[in-house]
Chain A
Amino acid sequence: MARTATPVTGRLAWPIVAGAVLALAVLVLPLLALVVRAPWADLPALLASSAVLEALALSFGTAILATAICLVLGIPLAALVARAESWATLPRRLLRAAVTVPLVLPPVVGGIALLTLLGRRGVIGEWLDRVFGVTIPFTTGAVVIAQVFVALPFLVFAVEGALRSSDRRTELAAATLGASRWQVFRHVTLPIVAPGVAAGGVLCFTRALGEFGATITFAGSLPGTTRTLPIASYLAMQTDPDEAVALALLLLAVSVVVLLTLRDRWLPGATA
């Protein structure tokens, strides 16, 4: 379709401009301060310390595992949420609420909830401990579970959006060509929503990487086991602010790289 000409919008009123500049300052100034105050000369040494490398490896390892779990669990859930559009109002809203809650919940509450469920005296945790001798809290596994809890909705909503905007008739066409339901999903639905899956996966990974509240509550801060980069950064603030800034800068750099990866290709509304 031919593009219509851009209409003349006129100039914005000054209170709008002032508000926008202020809002931008709120968003950008703290990050700018981080860059300005970073101990650039000592940065290589700070980031190469064994404590930092340990936290870095733990963070990346757990975030990658959490993202993989989110992909395996989140894609089917996204398919269900997308299909729930044809359900009755109440179950549809309950399903959507269940997926949304971790997004709006303070992460600490998530951590407490996980402890209540999986802690040694938790609803399931007590049984796991008694029958299998398995204790989850304050282990690397707990870090991954906390990350999955907070990051899963990002993946689900990204994939659900892609599913809803895809042409469902391609699935019908595949069925008339002999594809079973699983084959339709595997050969048609999934490849068509792949950009949504990739975008969701990247968002999920960054959310997992930055996870703090649920992790510290449910998994604690054991060096090498549960002390991820954000937790190490927070703790360093008490003892070595330079190290804290260096770690914060590292997390910021990862976020920027992710943003650049997503830009144009997958973020809705972005243009090349």
Chain B
Amino acid sequence: MIGGVGMTDAARTRPGLDVDVSLSYGPTRIAAAFAVRPGHPLAIIGPNGAGKSSLLAAVAGLVPLDAGTVSIGDRRVEALPPERRRIGVVFQDYVLFPHLTVRDNVAFAARMRGPRAAARAAAEPWLERYDLIALADRLPSELSGGQRQRAALARALAAEPDVLLLDEPMSALDVEIRGDMRAELATHVREFGGATVLVTHSPADAAMLADQVLVLERGMVTQRGTLDELRAAPATPYVRRMLAASEA
């Protein structure tokens, strides 16, 4: 089933994301176009090496494009450096700053704009919302996988981005806790309410976290639609196998 991440008040005021890009990833050329409405997350799904993470990094401005456009609402951002795009990223295995406490990780974006005390004060509500108060003075190395995920999400959202990108957000977690963490992440993504793109190779992630799915194989989009639409008419052997494996 589709997760049905609902429309919030925030979503109505947030801009959508429009992407139409091509880039090179080793010998693979990646070309993809998609639009994401606020409050209706998109899952990019595909086998290892399909270029999913590179595509996401290109949207964030972390790897160069060969050509194309990235628009957030009516703002063209493809020529902007990552720090000016207002795109939040939750990286695979989270990439928290190892030398900073959870509090200072979450306060990081505000710290870049102002003094430390003000940044820490600004971080407080985010720490509360993501249940990180008790962990605020710990270093990332002292957190569990699930706690790291929450801290990474809080850090990204505390920057108040227009768009949220999640790169394999479940892959660094133990299998036993993935179900719970997926539900928790779905709640947070819904609360964010902005345009959200998630990269995964798990249909379970897509089902819980996204409204739409885009299948990327060897850098090319091979199918798009809801999971139900993919199930009804899988366009490639990979899609068929992936869906069969997820139902097994």
| Residues in A lying within 8 Å of B, measured CB to CB | 167, 169-170, 172-180, 183, 187-188, 191-192, 194
Report the bound CA distance from A170 to B108 in whole Å.
Answer: 12
Closest 5 pairs (CB-CB, A-B): A175-B82, A177-B109, A176-B89, A191-B99, A169-B95
B91 touches A173 (CB 8 A): yes
Q: Tell me whether B87 is interfacial, beta carbon within 8 Å.
A: yes
Q: Tell me whether B155 is interfacial, beta carbon within 8 Å.
A: yes
Given contacts A175-B81, A176-B60, could you give 19 more A-B pairs where the C-beta distance is less than 8 Å?
Answer: A167-B98, A170-B97, A173-B89, A173-B95, A175-B61, A176-B83, A176-B89, A177-B109, A177-B112, A177-B156, A178-B83, A178-B84, A178-B112, A178-B159, A180-B83, A183-B112, A187-B112, A191-B99, A192-B98
Q: Tell me whether B111 is interfacial, beta carbon within 8 Å.
A: yes
- Pick the most buried of B61, B85, B95: most chain A CB atoms within 10 A of its CB: B95
Chain B residues near A183: list those with CB within 8 A.
112
B88 touches A176 (CB 8 A): yes
Chain B residues near A172: list those with CB within 8 A.
57, 62, 82, 89, 91, 95
- A-B contacts, 22 of them at CB < 8 A, read A169-B95, A170-B97, A170-B98, A172-B82, A172-B89, A174-B97, A175-B62, A175-B82, A176-B60, A176-B87, A176-B88, A176-B156, A177-B83, A177-B112, A177-B155, A177-B156, A178-B109, A178-B113, A180-B112, A187-B108, A187-B112, A192-B98
- Pick the contact of A192: B83, B87, B99, B113 (CB < 8 A): B99
A-B interface pairs (CB < 8 A), number: 66
Number of B interface residues at 8 Å Cβ cutoff, please give it. Answer: 27
B159 touches A173 (CB 8 A): no
Report the bound CA distance from A186 to B167 in whole Å.
Answer: 26
B contacts with A: majority SS: mixed
Report the bound CA distance from A183 to B98 in whole Å.
Answer: 16
Report the bound CA distance from A169 to B167 in whole Å.
Answer: 13
- Pick the most buried of B81, B83, B109: most chain A CB atoms within 10 A of its CB: B83
Chain A residues near B99: list those with CB within 8 A.
191-192, 194
With A177-B159, A178-B159, A179-B112 known as contacts, the answer to whether A170 contacts B95 (CB < 8 A) is yes
Report the bound CA distance from A167 to B62 in whole Å.
Answer: 15
Report the bound CA distance from A180 to B111 in whole Å.
Answer: 12
